[in-house]
Structure 1
Amino acid sequence: MEKLIVLVLEGEYRLTAAVLFCLSRDERMVVHMVSRDATSPFRYSRYVRSHHRQPQGAFDADFVPFVQQVAARTAAQVLLPIDVEGMRFCIAHHPALETALRVLPLPSAHAYEIAADKSWLAGFMRRHDIPGPVTITNIGQHLPEQLATLRFPVLLKPTGGEGGLGIELFREAAPLLERIAQLPPGAKYIVQTYLEGYDIDCNVLYKDGQLLAYSVQRGLLPAANAYAPTQAIEFVKNDAVLAVVDRLMTALHWNGVAHLDLRYDADSGAINVIEINPRFWLTVVGSAVTAKVNFPVLACLAALNRPVARPAFALGRYIPFNNFLKYKYLSRLRDKVRFTFGNTSLMSFLGDPLPKLFCLFNRHSVRIE
């Protein structure tokens, strides 16, 4: 069987661990890692054939020749960035990097920044008639007049960020205006109508605006806080979700992976795009284990222009192993959703223990999953 040599660009700990596990599930994958962290826990990963690190610092042009040298040393065929920082680095230096190896499919810099910024995305969707919550993007201009036309409650959101951090709900204009007046100078926020309904997400891989793979997931358990990701998911079929997502990603001429947060509006019955996470996502393990769509592997094949037959994703439940233990043994809910060990990330949790042990004893701020 032909081997495929992948050079993973180390990113945020949990995303990196999730992507490495997904790659480990395909016996064709030979994984090396390039990093800027001299104390990286993935030096001890059994999924990584070799770990190459340059002194820690910001991604810049000086890191490019280091990546090129590692690619030559390992005979790597594909460079796989994982998080937003790594994606931006690869987009900025794409021509130079591709002199040494192929890079994960990536959108243009302009399309990427639209996807990563809630304000820019709201404007883009409005121009292309793609359904989303009514959004005020210029909160510094005539805000009371703009709020007068908006249906409450509303959400105040930072234009960047993820995981629901910094989002606040307001049921009236007066406290919202007071809160906005307290924001530091230059802070970038939007105001968005809150939609009654439920969250439903879509994971995608595109190549030159064409959909190669996708899965749709809906939350099963309440989130740790109001706007954080759900603690467990269920993969479901929903053609309306895919139709909206494909309209948006085709308009962006998207290249690569993304995780889209959407919401069903109980009042209108419409599916609305809330935001795009233009990177790999934590439940990518669930996509690989439960839905049987291994996005990191498919992205590597797409980078090499190998044929990717769109897989039909499987239905089922998935819960990270930590969440499973907390829910099963600590939750006081009476009518519990039933999960088995097969619905969990147990193999991911146990499959690569040394990086987790290193973090446990050396990096107390790192959350282990």
Structure 2
Amino acid sequence: MKVFVTDGGERASLAVVRSLGRSGVEVHAGEHYRLSAASLSKYVTKSVVHPDPQEDCHAYIDWLEDFLAREEYDVLYATREITTLPISYYKKRLEQYTRVPFPDYDRMLLTQDKAKTFRHAIEAGVPIPKTYFVESMDELEAVAEEIEYPVVVKSRSKTMWNGGRPFTLKVQAENYVRDPGGLAEISSKILEKSGKMPLIQEYIPGEAYGVEMLLHHGEPRALFMHKRLREYPITGGVSTMRESIYDERLAEPALRLMKHLRWHGVAMVEFKVDARDGIPKLIEVNGRFWGSLALPVAARVDFPYYLHRMIVDGDVPVRTTYPAGVRCRWLVTGDLMWLASSLKTARSKAAVVREFIRYPCAYDDILSFDDPLPILGTMNGSLRGLRYTVRRLLSRNRSGTMGARCTKDL
């Protein structure tokens, strides 16, 4: 078997490469720059440089189609939203040459568009934060005084496209608001950038969890759960340290939702267990491989290999048992950024340092004695990302705008 894994700078892609490589699959990797984390893995036999999907998804897809037509791959894997969605959108073009392990685009939108996700969750009887679906600023003004604050204001889609170029609207500190004035301000910004009114949800105090699954047309084939121990940004972001757990309170609603969606493939369902009533509330669904993929693989729930066998063979046996208490961190650069951010805002810096070192951790998303070179690719990718961010900020400052308005069209 031979596969192509794109997004070679991503932690999830590295986990896919290592998983499939250890299983004897020949792995080739791609990224829009040389010396990515995956390309330096000992499990990659060939690496290529492709167009940057962050600049133009159409050029990326055209290149990918031509490349797949010339090479012979059994499966194409991708891990970022800015690649999985275009690949899903152009799935019929690419499936002429290889297998594509993602649902069709319309079904992918059920997890990418948060309004669709939460409406389906309501239909499936899955608990969600109190959510306001408003369609205009006038509707927002009518309910603003009735809302119980604080609330979280979210773009309906994290990633959108304008002329083939993706634009990301993440939840940051400014998205947490405590009064009608702040609600109107951030909602107006999101409407201007995305072209759609945002979702408004009550803030859920409590701890964050993930339920990862492999499903065969809505029926579970593999299941794993983790608790977030640390995340960056500290206001709510990706996990930088997490551990395996099992909790039926999480498994049941997650499986119910994905069965309702008739999902085929991998997905992660995120919850926060409400500190006020102990009920897990849905936060979001990622219909693709997730950043913390190295943890379930370390706990012997090998999602990349299971997905590969399901795509190639048609189905796989059910696997739902694993050890609890397995920990995995993203030291470089995620947990170090958590440390720097926490030291900046904490009253007790000693307490932050104690928190940083208190968890014994045998596994890391990147660092590995068995496969050491990808850390150099991670550092290279981080420096490139920093330069890209600086260029974008300088460009915005010169133009006096925060960027072009996005559309949902690829």
Contact 2:128-2:282 at 8 Å conserved across structures = yes
Q: Which residue of 1 aligns with 2:276?
A: 267
Contact 1:209-1:254 at 8 Å conserved across structures = yes
Letter in 2 for 1:191: I
User: By how many angstroms is 1:33 displaced?
Assistant: 2.7
Contact 2:267-2:288 at 8 Å conserved across structures = yes
Q: Which residue of 2 aligns with 1:113?
A: 109
Q: Which residue of 1 aligns with 2:46?
A: 50
Q: Secondary structure at the match of 2:126?
A: coil
Provide Cα deviations, 1:44-97, integer angstroms capped at 9, x if missing partner: 54332123445554246633541432432xxx2111122223222332233343
From the superposition, tell whether residues 357 and 46 of structure 1 become closer, same or farther in structure 2 (CA, over 3 Å).
Answer: farther
Q: Is 1:203 aligned with 2:212?
A: yes
From the superposition, tell whether residues 364 and 21 of structure 1 become closer, same or farther in structure 2 (CA, over 3 Å).
Answer: farther
From the superposition, tell whether residues 157 and 12 of structure 1 become closer, same or farther in structure 2 (CA, over 3 Å).
Answer: farther
**Counterpart pick for 2:329 among 319, 322, 341:** 319
User: By how many angstroms is 1:255 displaced?
Assistant: 1.4
Letter in 2 for 1:66: D
Contact 2:329-2:361 at 8 Å conserved across structures = no
**Counterpart pick for 1:254 among 263, 271, 282:** 263
From the superposition, tell whether residues 139 and 98 of structure 1 become closer, same or farther in structure 2 (CA, over 3 Å).
Answer: closer
2-side partners of 1:157 and 1:166: how far apart?
11
From the superposition, tell whether residues 16 and 343 of structure 1 become closer, same or farther in structure 2 (CA, over 3 Å).
Answer: closer
Provide Cα deviations, 1:226-253, integer angstroms capped at 9, x if missing partner: 1123431111111111111111111111
Q: Is 1:103 aligned with 2:100?
A: yes
Contact 1:202-1:215 at 8 Å conserved across structures = yes
TM-score, normalization by structure 1? 0.83
Q: Which residue of 2 aligns with 1:296?
A: 304
User: By how many angstroms is 1:207 displaced?
Assistant: 2.0
1-side partners of 2:41 and 2:9: how far apart?
15
Contact 1:79-1:103 at 8 Å conserved across structures = yes
Contact 1:214-1:313 at 8 Å conserved across structures = no
User: By how many angstroms is 1:284 displaced?
Assistant: 0.4
Contact 2:205-2:274 at 8 Å conserved across structures = yes
User: By how many angstroms is 1:359 displaced?
Assistant: 3.9
Letter in 1 for 2:68: Q
2-side partners of 1:287 and 1:138: how far apart?
38
Q: Secondary structure at the match of 2:213?
A: strand
User: By how many angstroms is 1:163 displaced?
Assistant: 6.2
Q: Which residue of 2 aligns with 1:129?
A: 125
Letter in 1 for 2:328: Y
Letter in 2 for 1:318: C
Q: After superposing the two structures, state which structure 1 stretch, 237-246 or 317-326, moved more.
A: 317-326
Q: Is 1:355 aligned with 2:383?
A: no
Letter in 1 for 2:57: A
2-side partners of 1:125 and 1:14: how far apart?
29
Aligned counterparts, 1:335-354, within 5 A: 336=355, 338-345=358-365, 346-347=367-368, 350-354=372-376
From the superposition, tell whether residues 273 and 205 of structure 1 become closer, same or farther in structure 2 (CA, over 3 Å).
Answer: same
Q: Which residue of 2 aligns with 1:308?
A: 316
Q: Secondary structure at the match of 2:300?
A: coil
Q: Secondary structure at the match of 1:211?
A: strand
User: By how many angstroms is 1:205 displaced?
Assistant: 1.5
Provide Cα deviations, 1:270-327, integer angstroms capped at 9, x if missing partner: 21111112221111011211x2212112111111125422331221222223366788
Letter in 2 for 1:175: G
From the superposition, tell whether residues 359 and 183 of structure 1 become closer, same or farther in structure 2 (CA, over 3 Å).
Answer: closer
Provide Cα deviations, 1:27-46, integer angstroms capped at 9, x if missing partner: 322101355x3646355543
Letter in 1 for 2:317: A
TM-score, normalization by structure 2? 0.76
Aligned counterparts, 1:213-292, within 5 A: 213-221=222-230, 223-289=232-298, 291-292=299-300
Contact 2:231-2:237 at 8 Å conserved across structures = no
Q: Which has the higher helix share?
A: 2
Q: Secondary structure at the match of 2:57?
A: coil
Unmatched tracts of structure 1, length 5 or more? none
**Counterpart pick for 1:88 among 85, 94, 107:** 85
% identical aligned pairs: 20
Contact 1:11-1:82 at 8 Å conserved across structures = no
2-side partners of 1:148 and 1:86: how far apart?
40
From the superposition, tell whether residues 233 and 167 of structure 1 become closer, same or farther in structure 2 (CA, over 3 Å).
Answer: farther
Contact 2:270-2:283 at 8 Å conserved across structures = yes
Q: Secondary structure at the match of 2:313?
A: coil
Q: Secondary structure at the match of 1:313?
A: coil
Unmatched tracts of structure 2, length 5 or more? 159-168, 344-348, 390-410
What is the number of residues matched between the two proteins? Answer: 357
From the superposition, tell whether residues 193 and 184 of structure 1 become closer, same or farther in structure 2 (CA, over 3 Å).
Answer: closer
Q: After superposing the two structures, state which structure 1 stretch, 206-215 or 48-57, moved more.
A: 48-57
Letter in 2 for 1:319: R
Q: Which residue of 2 aligns with 1:168?
A: 175
